C-alpha cells in the first residue's frame, strides 16, 4: 500500500527515535500487532521488520544494517565496521578494516590488528589463566597461569615472569627488578645502585642510592620512607599505625594522630590547607584553586577551578556545576539515581544537551540537535544510560515512547505500536491496531478500518474507496 515516507523511516517508533531521513516518496507499511511490523521506503533505502514488538528486529537504513534478538543478540554493520553484543554486557565484538576486538565480561579479550600491513598481530587474554600478545620491544609472549608465563609491557610493568606462582615470580619496572618467592612473603629487589629484601610481614627494606630508601617492621604497623632524594621535593614519611602518621616535604606536610581520622595538612609555607576531624566524613581543605568543606552526612561542598559540587543530607540531595569557556553543566540528583537532571552546553558551538530521569517511571533526554525523547518506564536508564542499554534492553520495557523536535516533527508509540502516531511537516499518519489506520498530507489523506474492511483515500483530485479489502475508484493514493 502507498504510505508516507516519513513514518516508514522510523525504526518502528517503539525503538528509540523518529525518522532521520526527510526525503519524500512512496513506501510500504504492513502491521499485524503484536506479531509483526513491516515498513519500507525505497526512496531513502530504508526497510524494517519487527516481530513480537521489540524482540526481533531486522533493519536496513542506508548503508547501516541492524539485526536484534533482544536481549540475546544485537548486530550493526556498516561499510567499514561491524559491532555485535551478546546478552549485553556479557560479551561483545567490534571489527573494522584494520582491527577487531572481542570480549566476554572483560575476562576474555582478544585484539587483532593489521597495523596497515599484511602482517597480523594478535593479543588475547582469559584473565588470569591465559594471556598472549606481541611487544614491540620484546616480541611475542604468553602466560599460562599459574604454571609459567612471560608478559611484557602490560599491567603497569615492563616485564612479568613466573613459574608455579606463587612459588616464583619476577617483575621489572624502569630498571628495578623484584624477585618473589612464595609471594608475598619473600622478595629481593635489585637494580643499578639499588637493593632490598623483605620477609613479609615481619621486616623489609629497600634503597636506591641517591633516590630513595624505605623499610617496614610488622607491616602495616611501622614503616619509614625517604623519597625524591634526587629532586627538589625530598619527602620523609613515618607511619606508626594507628597512632601516628606523618609526611613532610618542601611543598607539603601532613600529620595524623590517630591515622587516618584526625590530621592537619600544611603547604610549603606552613599554612594550614586541610583539617581532618573524622576523615573522610568530616574535613575542610583549601588550596590555590580549590576549597572543600565536608561534614557528612549533613553537608559537603567542594570548589575546584571551574567546578562546584554540593551534598545535603548525603545521599539525599546533590548538585554539580561546571562553568568554563568551553563547557557548562548543571546536574542535580535525589537519592543518587532516584531522580536526576542534567543540562549541558558548549558555548563555543552553541550546542546544548539535557537529561532527566525518575526511577523507575520515566527517562527524558534532549540531544544536541534539539530532538527530545520521553520513555516510560525506565528500569535502567536512571542508573546506566549508554548505547548498550539503549540497543539491547530498553526497548523491552518501554511501554510508551515519544520523540519530537523543534521543527514540529514527532513520533509516538504505545505498547510497541499497538497505537502509534507520527508527524513530519504537513504529513501525519497513525494507527490503533487493528481498528483504524490513517494518514494525511497536503496532497490528500485517508483512513482504513479493520485493515481495509472499509476505507477512503484521496490524492489530489482522485479518490478511492476500500470495501472488504478491495479498492474501488479513481486510483490508489
Q: Rounded mean pLDDT of 10-16?
A: 41
Bridge-based pairing state of the strands 470-473 and 372-376? unpaired
Strand segments (E) across 44-137: 46-51, 56-61, 64-69, 73-77, 81-86, 91-96, 99-104, 108-113, 121-126, 130-135
Q: What is the pLDDT of residues 313-355, one digit of tens each?
A: 988 999 999 999 999 999 999 998 899 999 999 999 989 999 9
What are all long-range contacts of 447-453, with beta carbons under 8 Å and residues at least 24 apart?
A: 451/32
Residue 268's pLDDT is: 87
Query: In this model, does residue 5 exceed pLDDT 60?
Result: no
Q: What is the pLDDT of residues 239-285, one digit of tens each?
A: 999 999 999 999 999 999 999 899 999 998 888 899 999 988 999 99
| Length of the chain as a residue count | 477
With H, G, I as helix, E, B as strand and everything else as coil, classify residue 178: strand
Q: What is the pLDDT of residues 356-414, one digit of tens each?
A: 999 999 999 999 999 999 999 999 999 998 999 999 999 999 999 999 999 999 999 99
User: Cα 351–355–358 angle (5° rounding)?
Assistant: 170
H or E, element range at 5: helix 5-8
User: Cα 410–411–415 angle (5° rounding)?
Assistant: 155
Q: What is the pLDDT of residues 127-164, one digit of tens each?
A: 999 999 999 899 999 999 999 999 999 999 999 999 99
Question: How big, in percent rounded to 5, are the helix, strand and coil portions of the chain?
Answer: 5, 55, 40
Q: What is the pLDDT of residues 71-105, one digit of tens each?
A: 999 999 998 899 999 999 999 999 998 889 999 99
Structural contact between residues 234 and 225, judged by C-beta atoms closer than 8 angstroms: no
Amino acid at each position: 500500500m502507498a504510505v508516507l515516507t516519513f513514518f516508514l523511516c522510523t525504526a518502528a517508533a517503539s525503538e528509540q527515535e523518529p525518522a532521520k531521513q526527510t526525503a519524500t516518496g512512496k513506501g510500504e507499511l504492513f502491521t499485524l500487532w503484536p506479531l509483526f511490523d513491516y515498513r519500507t521506503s525505497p526512496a531513502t533505502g530504508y526497510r524494517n521488520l519487527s516481530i513480537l514488538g521489540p524482540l526481533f528486529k531486522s533493519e536496513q537504513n542506508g548503508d547501516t544494517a541492524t539485526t536484534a534478538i533482544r536481549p540475546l543478540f544485537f548486530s550493526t554493520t556498516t561499510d567499514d565496521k561491524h559491532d555485535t553484543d551478546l546478552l549485553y554486557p556479557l560479551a561483545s565484538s567490534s571489527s573494522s578494516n584494520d582491527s577487531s576486538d572481542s570480549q566476554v565480561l572483560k575476562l576474555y579479550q582478544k585484539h587483532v590488528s593489521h597495523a596497515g600491513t599484511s602482517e597480523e598481530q594478535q593479543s588475547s587474554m582469559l584473565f588470569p589463566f591465559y594471556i598472549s600478545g606481541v611487544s614491540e620491544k620484546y616480541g611475542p609472549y604468553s602466560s599460562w597461569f599459574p604454571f609459567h608465563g612471560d608478559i611484557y609491557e602490560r599491567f603497569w610493568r615492563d616485564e612479568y615472569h613466573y613459574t608455579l606462582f606463587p612459588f616464583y615470580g619476577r617483575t621489572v619496572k624502569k630498571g628495578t627488578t623484584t624477585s618473589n618467592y612464595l609471594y608475598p612473603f619473600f622478595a629481593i629487589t635489585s637494580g643499578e645502585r639499588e637493593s632490598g629484601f623483605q620477609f613479609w610481614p615481619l621486616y623489609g627494606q629497600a634503597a636506591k642510592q641517591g633516590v630513595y630508601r624505605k623499610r617496614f617492621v610488622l607491616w602495616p604497623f611501622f614503616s619509614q620512607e625517604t623519597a625524591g632524594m634526587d629532586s627538589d621535593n625530598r619527602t620523609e614519611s613515618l607511619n606508626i599505625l594507628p597512632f601516628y602518621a606523618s609526611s613532610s616535604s618542601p611543598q607539603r606536610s601532613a600529620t595524623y594522630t590517630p591515622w587516618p581520622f584526625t590530621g592537619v595538612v600544611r603547604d610549603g609555607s606552613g599554612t594550614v590547607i586541610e583539617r581532618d576531624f573524622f576523615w573522610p566524613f568530616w574535613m575542610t581543605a583549601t588550596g590555590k584553586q580549590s576549597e572543600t568543606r565536608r561534614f557528612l552526612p549533613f553537608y559537603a561542598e567542594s570548589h575546584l577551578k571551574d567546578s562546584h559540587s554540593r551534598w545535603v543530607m548525603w545521599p539525599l540531595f546533590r548538585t554539580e556545576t561546571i562553568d568554563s569557556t568551553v563547557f557548562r553543566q548543571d546536574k542535580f540528583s535525589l537519592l543518587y539515581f532516584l531522580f536526576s537532571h542534567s543540562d549541558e552546553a558548549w558555548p563555543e558551538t552553541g550546542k546544548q544537551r539535557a537529561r532527566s530521569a525518575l526511577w523507575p517511571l520515566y527517562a527524558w533526554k534532549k540531544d544536541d540537535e534539539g530532538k527530545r525523547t520521553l520513555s516510560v518506564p525506565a528500569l535502567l536508564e536512571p542508573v546506566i544510560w549508554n548505547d548498550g542499554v539503549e540497543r539491547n534492553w530498553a526497548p523491552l520495557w518501554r511501554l510508551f515512547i515519544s520523540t519530537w523536535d523543534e521543527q514540529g516533527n514527532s513520533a509516538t508509540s504505545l505498547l510497541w505500536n499497538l497505537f502509534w502516531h507520527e508527524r513530519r511537516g504537513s504529513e501525519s499518519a497513525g494507527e490503533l491496531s487493528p481498528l483504524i489506520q490513517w494518514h494525511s498530507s497536503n496532497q490528500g489523506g485517508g483512513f482504513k478500518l479493520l485493515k481495509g474492511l472499509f476505507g477512503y483515500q484521496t490524492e489530489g483530485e482522485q479518490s478511492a474507496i476500500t470495501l472488504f479489502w478491495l479498492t474501488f475508484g479513481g486510483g490508489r493514493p
